[in-house]
Structure 1
Amino acid sequence: MRLARHLAALSALSVIAVTACSAPSAPGAPAASEGGDDTFVIGLSSEFENLSPVLGYAADGGSMIFDGLMARQPDLSLRPALAEAAPVTSADGKKVTFTLREGVAFHDGRPLTSKDVVYTYTSVLDPKTSSPISGDYAAVEKVSAPDARTVEFTLKYAYAPLVQRTTLGIVPDGGIDPAKPVGTGPYTFTQWTPGDKIALAANEKYWGGAPAVKKLVVAFAPDDNVRSTRLAAGEFDATVLPPKAAKRFEGQQGLTVHKQESADYRGIMFPSQPKVTGDPVIRRAFSLAVDRQAMVDSILAGAGKPAFGPISPDTAWHNPEVAGNGRADTAAAGKLLDEAGWKPGADGVRAKDGVKAAFTLMYPAGDSLRKELSLAAASDAKKAGIQVELAGLDWDAIEPRMAKDALMMGYGSPNDPDYINYDLFHSSRAGQGFFNPGHYRNPKVDQALVKGRESADEAVRKQAYAEFQKLIRDDEVWTYLVFLQHVYVVRGSWSGIRPSVDAHEHATGGLFRDIHTWKPGA
């Protein structure tokens, strides 16, 4: 899936920082290039596939162009956006009703009505659209508009995360022109220069109040060194850096380093069909051999924590049974391999039935953080007699190889556990691009994910997701390595910057989610 590739690529955040090439701008002043002195420039590592919410653009909010019925606050709670209040849910949980805010207009002046909401969600669900997020709305039977301000979602079954899914941006009835998308958000679209940047202008009639930042540029710099250099040179006003790189910007006049907790993890996805990575013993031994705490201490410079599963321990959904101490246990890994018949060879690499305990681990070539993690994991595995060949490739080369080669991946959401996990581990998603790329199948996991998705009882859901976490831990579907802190560097002095807990996907979310509320001056 193109969207899945975009989500994976967006968190290729590692940058090698360099010292400033010129003096930084005065506090509160924007960068001197990319559009003039009144322009704020954000540097991102990956270009958007599209700007259509129907096709998955910024589905969980973070878009400057579009608003959803609901929006997420920094504490992850939801607040009404295009809806005037929280929705009303029927007793059986199968009907959810929203009332729209009055007086909202699209950028071209058309008033927002319930027909626009119906069109947006119906388009996502229409098989002809081939929306990569249609599975997120599988519980929706229909969306209707009893009147101009009322929207009703009729569900096939009670689906607890539905309201969280209504952060999806609303497009006008009839769709948007890809060359000039129109929404209701705080910024209007100006221009997209493919391979370079997107330019936006403040929506002075925005229902939530006109932004203080009048011109906004989202520039794309896929090369880590280039992005770092442009920040240091004053061409970018803000970007996202890995912890070690960001340390070199700490204390510089006119620059502020912001650290945010995240549910964003890095881990190794194992394809289940090849003989070596398909052996649970190899995967479990590999996991035992990895020193996660050393990765946190050295590669992340302390800005993170060891990971043992896809649900952050900072959330209420985490199952503490899947936790560990983070340190390598090479002896235990060797014992496990010995007992399973994987014996060391003369070269130190184990083998069984003539097959060496060796596999290839891919990582995106432009992501130095994933490269460092891959190198460390391969070094740890070697001590246990497992040989890992590394391959730094671009995403186009990675995608067709995921069914046979392991991959250093990243995902994670601090919101409902239905997010991401159903797509990554349910057997129905096997082989669908970056969703379940290892073709993992376990009927008990399927059952737990469906129960968690379809139950309206929070206690039942929590038990289902606790079981899910234990099952994939027992199978060692992935070897989870670390949860990251996301580190942002922002030029100038601004009030209104509100820390949050990040998901894997940033888009213009994360620290930049509420940039329309920022004001010059601390």
Structure 2
Amino acid sequence: MSINRRQFFKTSLLSFSSMSLAGLVGCQTQSKNREILVGITSRPRMLDPRKATDALSSRVNRLLYRQLIDFNEKFEAIPDLATWQQLSDTRYVFTINEQSVFHSGEPLTSADVVATYNSILDPKLGSAHRGSLKGIKTVKALNDSQVEFVLDKADALFVGRLVIGILPKSLIEKQHPFHEKPVGSGPCEFVSLSEQKLVIQRQSDQINLVFIPVKDATVRVLKLKKGELDIIQNDLSPELVQYCQKQPELKVSWSSGTNFGYIGFNFEDSLLAQPALREAIAHGIDRQSIIDAMFSGHARIAGGLLVPEHWCGVTDMPGYEFNPKKAKALLKSLDFTKLPPGLVTYNEQNEPIIELSYKTSNDPTRIRLATIYQSQLKKVGIHLNVQSYDWGTFYSDIKKGRFQLYSLAWVGVKSPDIFQYVFDSSAIPPSGANRGRYRDQVADKLIRLAGNTQDLSKQAELYKDLQRHLQATLAAMPLWYEDQYAVSRKEVTGYKLYADGRLDGLLDCVKNSY
């Protein structure tokens, strides 16, 4: 059969276009699967590990840089880049045991470790980590693979402080802007950074991890549904998580967490300084019912600031059970004689009704929790006046002691010397984070004894005794340890969650084609 030239070209063009379109779709699908889009609340603030203090930056920096040590599931220090020997109370030698290469192509040696830590110790850098490392007297390279740290005094927790990512000495000396163009030796290499996204590439398979800031939680979920994001970790309201669980294209994964939620008391307040009122509040809030209703059971009641699995954690911490009858009886035992008029009234049964203010941020979930506390405590005779503020105003008030009650959470705590920072009488802001102005001689003594004890097993027992004392005196009211969770599209597989919220699961997950 004959075919004219015009028909031949038309037929060929259609055939070529079909093949090209199929190839283009295949390339686009393949290209799309070469990147994993991660929704985050805001852009990482600091990609120089010497200066990073916020949780997101620290978690991203773990992917870009290697550090001397890491932590196991009990939060004990374990080797990462290096093993170590403690030669005396004040002398440690670290040995780099594997060949690690910076993304610039330079090998990582002891000189880079020395340069990194010396730069942190230099006041001109302004590193926030200098305080925890100020006990270092000297740090020097013994050879290409060994580094010696000499301390000015013994510190049993010293090894656990060496979690700063190592930077190349050559670039430190050139004052390279690591915060804009990170150069590390971690499993991921920096690609680009803009207001719209941060792109880093996995070295194992050249897949890009694209971090996209989306401030509004609802918008993040909608982008996840549309395929404009692949995964979100935490930072959603309970209602949004429940919504995601019902969406056929999404899945929610859970893991136990270490974030410690608590209610803080102002010990300079004449009412809250009385143990009976703090105990009444503890017995008047039904924590388990709140966990069940607000978090769908995805949290566990807390005892101490450290989870029970921590090497200093308390597994048998005595608690404050929900007991409204006991709470009412405790209120009757309070001393009201020194209070201004109007703070306490009485109902028809001659039971006291106490007015207290409770400050929180304007986050919708935190406001909902506050109204639940308000409802539960009203039944025992405590009327909470809930005041919500933008984060800056709220946090400023808390640091300045302008509150009676407030609620916050400690995130990613690993070292037990957090107790000195939070509960020591010398750590009242701005000298620390003792925001409740808690002053207790027994607590101070235990904190100092633990800090000066060099035997880690004995130190653990002292910190356990301290936590039991903090619980007995209700230095703060423990609420719960919230679970970690990730919401992802169904095609994302292999993502692992960690109790401390790290993002290391991004190193192994894959996005499959459908």
Shorter-chain TM-score: which interval?
Answer: 0.7 to 0.9
What per-residue deviation string (whole Å, max 9, x for no partner) do you get for residues 20-71 of structure 1? xxxxxxxxx9x99xx9663211122344332221123455886222111123
State the partner residue of 2:360.
363
Cα 1:146–1:257 change in 2 (3 A) is same
1:332 is the counterpart of 2:322: no
1:518 is the counterpart of 2:514: no
What per-residue deviation string (whole Å, max 9, x for no partner) do you get for residues 232-275 of structure 1? 23222111245554343337555332111111121112233233
Cα 1:146–1:443 change in 2 (3 A) is farther
CA–CA separation in structure 2 for the residues paired with 1:240 and 1:348: 50
Cα 1:105–1:494 change in 2 (3 A) is same
1:68 is the counterpart of 2:59: no
Aligned partner of 1:461 among 459, 462, 465: 459
Residue type of the alignment partner of 1:338: K
Cα 1:315–1:77 change in 2 (3 A) is closer
CA–CA separation in structure 1 for the residues paired with 2:118 and 2:442: 32
Matched-pair contact (CA < 8 Å) for 1:266–1:482: yes
CA–CA separation in structure 2 for the residues paired with 1:77 and 1:346: 52
CA–CA separation in structure 1 for the residues paired with 2:436 and 2:187: 40
What per-residue deviation string (whole Å, max 9, x for no partner) do you get for residues 125-168 of structure 1? 34444433334335433322222321122234443333333232
User: Match of 1:410, SS?
Assistant: strand
Larger fraction in helix: 2
1:239 is the counterpart of 2:235: no
State the partner residue of 1:341.
335
State the partner residue of 1:184.
185
State the partner residue of 1:52.
48
CA–CA separation in structure 1 for the residues paired with 2:351 and 2:51: 46
Structure 2: runs of 5 or more not aligned? 1-25, 337-342
User: Match of 2:212, SS?
Assistant: strand
Matched-pair contact (CA < 8 Å) for 2:168–2:183: yes
CA–CA separation in structure 2 for the residues paired with 1:251 and 1:305: 24
Structure number with larger C-alpha Rg: 2
1:313 is the counterpart of 2:308: yes
State the partner residue of 2:18.
none
Residue type of the alignment partner of 1:87: W
Cα 1:167–1:404 change in 2 (3 A) is same
CA–CA separation in structure 2 for the residues paired with 1:222 and 1:447: 44
1:166 is the counterpart of 2:162: yes
CA shift at 1:448, angstroms? 2.0
Cα 1:441–1:424 change in 2 (3 A) is same
Aligned partner of 2:436 among 438, 448, 452: 438
CA shift at 1:76, angstroms? 5.3
What per-residue deviation string (whole Å, max 9, x for no partner) do you get for residues 358-378 of structure 1? 333222323x33333222222
CA shift at 1:494, angstroms? 5.3
User: Match of 2:466, SS?
Assistant: helix
What per-residue deviation string (whole Å, max 9, x for no partner) do you get for residues 271-304 of structure 1? 3323344443322221111111111111111111
1:258 is the counterpart of 2:253: yes
Matched-pair contact (CA < 8 Å) for 1:145–1:152: yes
What per-residue deviation string (whole Å, max 9, x for no partner) do you get for residues 390-449 of structure 1? 23322211122111223221115474433x333222233321388222233334323322
1:217 is the counterpart of 2:215: no
Cα 1:421–1:359 change in 2 (3 A) is same
Residue type of the alignment partner of 1:513: D
Cα 1:433–1:130 change in 2 (3 A) is farther
1:88 is the counterpart of 2:85: yes
Residue type of the alignment partner of 1:485: D
Matched-pair contact (CA < 8 Å) for 1:244–1:301: no
CA–CA separation in structure 1 for the residues paired with 2:153 and 2:349: 52
Instruction: Determine which structure has greater relative contact order: mean sequence separation of CA pairs < 8 Å that are 6+ residues apart, divided by chain length.
Output: 1
Cα 1:154–1:197 change in 2 (3 A) is same
1:114 is the counterpart of 2:105: no
CA–CA separation in structure 2 for the residues paired with 1:214 and 1:313: 37
CA shift at 1:515, angstroms? 1.9
User: Match of 1:378, SS?
Assistant: helix
Structure 1: runs of 5 or more not aligned? 1-28, 203-209
State the partner residue of 1:199.
199
Cα 1:495–1:99 change in 2 (3 A) is farther
Root-mean-square deviation (Å): 3.3
User: Match of 1:98, SS?
Assistant: strand
State the partner residue of 1:248.
243
CA–CA separation in structure 2 for the residues paired with 1:228 and 1:341: 51
CA–CA separation in structure 2 for the residues paired with 1:408 and 1:319: 22
1:293 is the counterpart of 2:305: no
CA–CA separation in structure 2 for the residues paired with 1:348 and 1:330: 18
CA shift at 1:521, angstroms? 5.6
**Number of corresponding residues:** 467
Cα 1:349–1:117 change in 2 (3 A) is farther
CA shift at 1:81, angstroms? 3.2
Q: TM (normalized to structure 2)? A: 0.80
CA–CA separation in structure 2 for the residues paired with 1:432 and 1:391: 24
CA–CA separation in structure 2 for the residues paired with 1:251 and 1:199: 30
Cα 1:245–1:293 change in 2 (3 A) is same
User: Match of 2:487, SS?
Assistant: strand
Cα 1:93–1:187 change in 2 (3 A) is same
CA–CA separation in structure 2 for the residues paired with 1:170 and 1:358: 53
CA–CA separation in structure 2 for the residues paired with 1:122 and 1:446: 32
Matched-pair contact (CA < 8 Å) for 1:117–1:170: yes
User: Match of 1:63, SS?
Assistant: helix
Cα 1:398–1:77 change in 2 (3 A) is same
Matched-pair contact (CA < 8 Å) for 1:52–1:181: yes
1:429 is the counterpart of 2:455: no
Paired-residue identity, % = 23
State the partner residue of 1:19.
none
